[in-house]
A and B are shown apart, each in its own frame.
Chain A
Amino acid sequence: MHQIKARNLKPLFFLGLRFLFGKPVQNPKAPAHRVRHSAFWGAVLGISVSIVPLYIVLFVSNGMIQGITDRYLETKTGHLQLALPFTLTGETREKLQRDIAGLEGVASASFEVDGIGLAASSRGSTSAQVRGLDQSIVADEGFKKFIQTDGGTIYPEKQNEAVLGRYLARALGVGVGDTVTLITLRDAHEGQMLPRLSIFRVAGIVSSGYRELDANWFIVRSEAALRLLNPSTAYAFIGIKTVDPYGAGLNALASGITDQLSQSGFSGVQGFSLRTWRDIERSLFASFSSTKSVLILIMAIAIIVAAVNLASALTTYVIEHRTEIAILRSFGVSSQQTASIFLLGGAATGTLGCIAGSAVGIFISFYINQILSGIQAAINFVSRLLAPASHPITLLNPDYYLEHIPISINWDYIILIVGVGIAVSALVSLVPAIKSSRIAPAELIRHEQ
């Protein structure tokens, strides 16, 4: 008959927020008032507390993964790798390099040949990852960005010079200017392998900031590597750097290069193959993303508990305020409106919590490096007071993690988390909301009697 479509949400919000949070300004600051509504401030607090670690885990793990990935890309794998047959002559190879470097989207193309060796010094011997790089690496901005030197140069100037990774140098106990011996195996006649002993002068000691990557680097000039390494087991390739390695255009670029190859008369059969960086270090990145998923799953549990907290606060409220809800129904608020009031109230509580938690979480993530050094200093200070002989601890052990975590605040994640948080709060408010809609005004009459 007289159907009013009260689509207006504003009254519902007005009621919901006032019910749940009260209005401290004009109400006398009696403890009773504060206590009535503290449950929801408690729910807000609970939700924000649970969201903060999610942000930290997300941004820190993303930052670590990005930092490690960047280092791999810029100092080791390149963006694309074109494997070459060892027998390719220098001239042909150089032409191929130039052709590729000239393609659109390619920033540089450099030659590298990798193999295994044993490096020895008076301290002992240890495994060496021989990397024969060509001169163009010196001009590579990406490479230089992530390589720090502990001394000397980043590229050997002479054929008999080598640049060592920091941990290799440490294991061998050598510094810039010392000599180091390298043993490699090379094919002799009749399939026999002969050891080759070469002596190098240490021209520099470098680090990429991630030990896992550069622990055994033994960098020599590519001509030297070609002489020392075994053709059938060494890996020769052109490392290609592109303008946008993370973009969608990478695969297109890869096919472009494959076309270029066929044009120049090379094909996959003769030992050429092109791989993107994602393929090359597939298992490394998969292990990272596996670990990240597990961490996020665990953080999700805290959020669920906070959401249940909200549900319990709402349910408690509905139970304790039956009478007030019945009053609403008595002057014509429909059951749908009643349910909406609590649904909106719960969602609003969740939103507040999400936003507060996001602000704190983002702040902590942004300053995580400073915060960690602070905590580390504090712990070491206290432990030195209590047990002077104890070793200083490092929270982010440079042997296993990046020392400095690059944090980039990705708004997509923030929007996703806040969105999911609001959705979960609304979901969890559903049951108390429906409960509230079942309250009938008849209760008021019975209440009086």
Chain B
Amino acid sequence: MNEPIIECRDLIKTFSSGAEVLHILDHADFSLEKGKICTILGPSGSGKSTFLAILGSLERFDSGSVRVDGYELQTLQEKSLSVFRRKVVGFVFQFHFLLGDFSALENVALPGYMAGLPRADAWKRATQLLDLVGLRNRAHHYPSQLSGGERQRVAIARALINEPPIVLADEPTGNLDAASSEELRSLLQRLPEAAKTTLVLVTHDSELATIGDTSFLLKGGHFECIR
């Protein structure tokens, strides 16, 4: 049997805003096998993004255990967190969050360059990834010169530069129109195979949700497996 690449047990995450205490995750359990596409659905504001952020080590959690690709997130210190973010996950946000002073190619190459790849290798890999997402001819354009859909594709390419075992995508089509969403959807569907990676997708786009091998619904702080 395949060892799950992501495994969460008894996860608790609360937000307090004033007098109210919100239980985003309330003794939640979650697990995912390698190489699959998993979609997480749920009502708006239910904490799907927060969960994704926890998986990506961008958010801390109150208690429980989260194991991602062998890393026990609750034990990781500052330095190791950086290593984790570099090696294990690639994050795609709803907003593209590309760096405006860098070209598409440079944006994609940057995480690899910063992680220690020699410059030539990083740039080469970035070119290949831009190829993968179909933007080779836009490599030297700056984010301000790209359309919304193109920017998001660059963001995906960037997430892949360090060959992470897991890609986390938070509402990737949230800001896109129908045509771009469709393009993105087919790209994401090919991802596990093309990039040898596991994909966790948070979305409330019902079309997008269909690409998942497994689907979960996050409601009331718990995960319900839909598929």
> Do A and B associate with each other?
yes
A interface, CB within 8 angstroms of B: 1-4, 6, 8, 10-11, 14-15, 18-19, 22-23, 26-28, 30, 36, 323-324, 327-335, 337, 440-442, 444-445, 447-449
Residues of A within 8 A of B58 (CB): 330, 440-442, 444-445
Further 10 A-B residue pairs, CB within 8 A, beyond A4-B115, A19-B101, A335-B78: A1-B83, A10-B119, A11-B113, A15-B114, A30-B144, A331-B90, A331-B91, A331-B162, A332-B115, A442-B59
Interface centre among A3, A36, A327 (most CB of B within 10 A): A327
Segment touching A, from B33-41, B92-100, B219-227: B92-100
Residues of A within 8 A of B45 (CB): 449
Residues of B within 8 A of A30 (CB): 144
* A332 near B93: Cβ-Cβ < 8 Å: no
* B114 near A449: Cβ-Cβ < 8 Å: no
B interface, CB within 8 angstroms of A: 45, 49-50, 53, 56, 58-60, 71, 78-80, 82-87, 90-91, 93-95, 97, 99-103, 110-111, 113-116, 119, 140, 142, 144-145, 158-159, 162, 170
Given contacts A330-B91, A332-B111, A334-B79, contact A445 B116 (CB under 8 A): no
Bound Cα distance from A46 to B93, whole angstroms: 39
Given contacts A2-B83, A332-B87, A449-B49, contact A15 B110 (CB under 8 A): yes
* A445 near B59: Cβ-Cβ < 8 Å: yes
Interface centre among B103, B110, B142 (most CB of A within 10 A): B110
Residues of B within 8 A of A335 (CB): 78, 82
What is the CB-to-nearest-CB distance from A381 to chain B, in angstroms, rounded to a whole number?
50
Q: 30 pairs across A/B with beta carbons < 8 Å?
A: A3-B79, A4-B116, A10-B119, A11-B114, A11-B119, A14-B113, A15-B110, A23-B101, A28-B145, A30-B144, A324-B99, A324-B100, A327-B97, A329-B82, A329-B85, A330-B58, A330-B85, A331-B162, A332-B83, A333-B82, A333-B114, A334-B78, A442-B53, A442-B59, A442-B60, A444-B58, A444-B93, A445-B49, A445-B58, A448-B170
Residues of A within 8 A of B87 (CB): 2, 332
Given contacts A14-B113, A324-B99, contact A331 B86 (CB under 8 A): yes
Closest 9 CB pairs of A and B: A332-B86, A334-B82, A332-B85, A331-B111, A445-B53, A441-B58, A6-B116, A11-B113, A327-B97
Bound Cα distance from A335 to B111, whole angstroms: 14
Interface centre among B45, B82, B83, B142 (most CB of A within 10 A): B82
* A26 near B140: Cβ-Cβ < 8 Å: yes
* A444 near B97: Cβ-Cβ < 8 Å: yes
Residues of B within 8 A of A331 (CB): 85-86, 90-91, 110-111, 114, 158-159, 162
Contact of B49 among A8, A14, A448 (CB under 8 A): A448
Interface centre among A4, A18, A448, A449 (most CB of B within 10 A): A448
What is the CB-to-nearest-CB distance from B177 to chain A, in angstroms, rounded to a whole number?
19
Given contacts A4-B116, A330-B85, A447-B95, contact A18 B158 (CB under 8 A): no
* A22 near B101: Cβ-Cβ < 8 Å: yes
Residues of A within 8 A of B145 (CB): 28
Chain A minimum-CB-distance residue to B52: A445
What is the CB-to-nearest-CB distance from A267 to chain B, in angstroms, rounded to a whole number?
75
* B90 near A448: Cβ-Cβ < 8 Å: no
* B49 near A332: Cβ-Cβ < 8 Å: no
What is the CB-to-nearest-CB distance from B47 to chain A, in angstroms, rounded to a whole number?
10
Bound Cα distance from A18 to B109, whole angstroms: 14
Residues of B within 8 A of A18 (CB): 101-102
Contact of A445 among B50, B83, B159 (CB under 8 A): B50
Contact of B80 among A1, A14, A19, A26 (CB under 8 A): A1
Residues of B within 8 A of A334 (CB): 78-79, 82
What is the CB-to-nearest-CB distance from A19 to chain B, in angstroms, rounded to a whole number?
6
* B114 near A4: Cβ-Cβ < 8 Å: no
* A8 near B170: Cβ-Cβ < 8 Å: no
Chain A minimum-CB-distance residue to B171: A448
Chain B minimum-CB-distance residue to A4: B116
What is the CB-to-nearest-CB distance from A444 to chain B, in angstroms, rounded to a whole number?
6
Bound Cα distance from A15 to B111, whole angstroms: 11
Chain A minimum-CB-distance residue to B84: A332
Residues of B within 8 A of A11 (CB): 113-114, 119
Bound Cα distance from A239 to B170, whole angstroms: 90
* A4 near B158: Cβ-Cβ < 8 Å: no
Residues of A within 8 A of B90 (CB): 331
What is the CB-to-nearest-CB distance from A26 to chain B, in angstroms, rounded to a whole number?
7
Interface centre among B58, B59, B85, B159 (most CB of A within 10 A): B58
Bound Cα distance from A349 to B99, whole angstroms: 21
Residues of B within 8 A of A333 (CB): 82, 111, 114
What is the CB-to-nearest-CB distance from B214 to chain A, in angstroms, rounded to a whole number?
23
* A26 near B85: Cβ-Cβ < 8 Å: no
Residues of B within 8 A of A15 (CB): 110, 114
Chain B minimum-CB-distance residue to A341: B114
* A332 near B82: Cβ-Cβ < 8 Å: yes
Bound Cα distance from A354 to B78, whole angstroms: 36
Residues of B within 8 A of A6 (CB): 114-116
Chain B minimum-CB-distance residue to A337: B114
Bound Cα distance from A328 to B82, whole angstroms: 10
Bound Cα distance from A345 to B45, whole angstroms: 39
* B97 near A323: Cβ-Cβ < 8 Å: yes
Contact of B95 among A22, A28, A448 (CB under 8 A): A448
Bound Cα distance from A11 to B102, whole angstroms: 13
Chain B minimum-CB-distance residue to A327: B97
What is the CB-to-nearest-CB distance from B104 to chain A, in angstroms, rounded to a whole number?
11
What is the CB-to-nearest-CB distance from B166 to chain A, in angstroms, rounded to a whole number?
13
* B144 near A28: Cβ-Cβ < 8 Å: yes
Residues of B within 8 A of A330 (CB): 56, 58, 85, 91, 97
Bound Cα distance from A337 to B60, whole angstroms: 21
What is the CB-to-nearest-CB distance from B81 to chain A, in angstroms, rounded to a whole number?
8
Bound Cα distance from A60 to B111, whole angstroms: 51
What is the CB-to-nearest-CB distance from A305 to chain B, in angstroms, rounded to a whole number?
28
Bound Cα distance from A335 to B93, whole angstroms: 21
